[in-house]
Amino acid sequence: MNAPPLLSLRDLAVVFHRDRRRIRALRGLDLVLAAGERLALLGESGSGKSTALLAIAGLLGPEAERSGEILFPLLGRAPILGRDVGFVFQDPFSALDPVLDVATQIAEPIRFHRGASWSAARAEAVALLRRVGIEPAEKRARDAPHRFSGGERQRIAIAMAIAAEPRLLLADEPTSALDTVNQAQILDLLDGLVRARDTALLLVTHDPAVAARIADRIAVLYAGRCVEVGPSARVLGAPRHPYTRALLAAALSLDRPPPRPLPEIPGSPPDPERDIAGCPFAPRCPLAASRCRTTPPPRTGGPEDGVACHLYAP
Ligand SMILES: Nc1ncnc2c1ncn2[C@@H]1O[C@H](COP(=O)(O)OP(=O)(O)OP(=O)(O)O)[C@@H](O)[C@H]1O
Ligand SMILES: [Mg+2]
């Protein structure tokens, strides 16, 4: 990657303060995302995927203490949510207003962020509805969200998130509430939309099959760190980190459709309230040596294709 990345995370750490507890959701996350690139964040429940997206979108609550850097080198300023960065949530209802018709909701960011007139924005909203497969678009544009199925609502939420033509689309498990057929269709829709607009996509999933279908690269998260990153074909075809291998073995050993939540790997993830001296995966790793428990693993390879594991240390 010679051009500056669209997004760069450096040593991003997030601690949630709850009562008198300190919950370490991210423990030093490094990632880069190029303009127009599609990156999947893959990891099991609690690995910090949603926290990473919320931090990037600037949506963390006051209980979150953040350190490290979130940079948008190509923008040259702080990103504006809705204009530069779009967000698709797992549950489309959280993005949609129950009382407004859907065209009005899609038109709003077009009007607000791009300065279009109401009538132009509404016409574009109808065209977007058609583009995401809601037909007859003209007529259904006047319906409120409850008149649509779950899959349709997610299509509408996607149309809304891309309406202002953001450079980056963040999507948190956008298909995990849907059945398999809808899931595949929505992924293909997302893929088509971001390709056509050269929008970068950062998609969170716990399902390797979803990552395989849409991502150029995959970053594997474990206990708030990226343990491995690389081109999708390389990560899925020749995983290096023992955690990635365990994750894929578990996912592939079960019948389709992929189970959710992710199938079991023996042992459990580290307690988010405790510090980790060495590799976070060491207690569950079949290949762990004593240094794995005491010394943080060095990162080998670059931010685009690398692994953090003592096995690969030079
Ligand atoms: N607002 C919060 N307050 C306290 N703890 C939180 C908060 N949000 C997340 N956490 C904790 O931070 C850790 C990471 O959570 P996060 O939601 O980012 O994980 P995730 O990878 O998205 O998991 P899932 O696949 O279940 O959605 C977990 O231990 C979670 O319980
Ligand atoms: Mg989550």
Q: What pLDDT was estimated at residue 257?
A: 52
How confident is the model over 69-80, as pLDDT tens digits? 999 999 988 999
Confidence of residue 314 (pLDDT cuts 50, 70, 90): confident
Ligand nearest to the CA of 63: 1
From 19, 42, 49, mutation site for ligand 1 pocket: most ligand atoms within 8 A of C-beta = 49
Q: What pLDDT was estimated at residue 115?
A: 92
Distance, in Å, from the CA atom of 57 to the CA atom of 43, rounded to the nearest integer, reads 20
- Locate all alpha helices (DSSP H) within the chain, ordered by sequence: 49-57, 102-114, 118-131, 137-140, 150-162, 180-197, 208-214, 232-237, 242-252, 290-294
CB neighbour burial string for 41-75, b if at least 16 within 10 angstroms, e if fewer: bbbbebbbbbbbbbbbbeebeeebebeeebebebe
Which is nearest to 221 in space by CA: 247, 254, 201? 247
Instruction: Compute the average pLDDT of residues 147-157.
Output: 93
pLDDT greater than 70 at residue 272: yes
Confidence of residue 265 (pLDDT cuts 50, 70, 90): confident
How confident is the model over 104-130, as pLDDT tens digits? 999 999 999 999 999 999 999 999 999
Distance, in Å, from the CA atom of 94 to the CA atom of 113, rounded to the nearest integer, reads 21
Q: Which atom of ligand 1 is nearest to the CA of 47?
A: 21
Q: What pLDDT was estimated at residue 40?
A: 98
Given a contact cutoff of 8 angstroms between Cβ atoms, the answer to whether 86 and 169 are in contact is: yes
Distance 123 CA to ligand 2 centre (A): 34
Q: What pLDDT was estimated at residue 264?
A: 65
Q: What pLDDT was estimated at residue 292?
A: 97
Which is nearest to 192 in space by CA: 248, 150, 266, 131? 131
Q: What pLDDT was estimated at residue 259?
A: 46
- For residue 66, what are the CA distances in angstroms to 28, 69, 155, 269? 10, 9, 32, 22
Q: What pLDDT was estimated at residue 180?
A: 83
Distance, in Å, from the CA atom of 124 to the CA atom of 225, rounded to the nearest integer, reads 40
- DSSP annotation of 313 reads -
Distance, in Å, from the CA atom of 142 to the CA atom of 110, rounded to the nearest integer, reads 17
The dihedral through the CA atoms of 198, 157, 31, 57 has a sign that is positive
Distance, in Å, from the CA atom of 6 to the CA atom of 126, rounded to the nearest integer, reads 30
What structural domains and CATH numbers belong to the chain?
7-84+166-312 (3.40.50.300)
Which is nearest to 98 in space by CA: 131, 147, 36? 147
Q: What pLDDT was estimated at residue 91?
A: 84
Ligand nearest to the CA of 65: 1
Instruction: Compute the average pLDDT of residues 287-310.
Output: 95
Give φ, ψ of 109 to 5 degrees: -65, -30
pTM, 2 dp? 0.93
Give φ, ψ of 117 to 5 degrees: -70, 160
pLDDT greater than 80 at residue 256: no
Distance 92 CA to ligand 2 centre (A): 14
Instruction: Compute the average pLDDT of residues 171-196.
Output: 89
Where is pLDDT greater, at 261 or 137?
137
From 17, 23, 170, mutation site for ligand 1 pocket: most ligand atoms within 8 A of C-beta = 23
Lowest mean pLDDT of 4-8, 90-94, 233-237, name the range.
90-94
Task: List all residues 6 or more positions away from 262 whose beta carbon is below 8 Å from its beta carbon.
Answer: 44, 45, 206, 207, 247, 250, 251
Distance 45 CA to ligand 2 centre (A): 7
pLDDT greater than 60 at residue 253: no
Distance, in Å, from the CA atom of 38 to the CA atom of 194, rounded to the nearest integer, reads 8
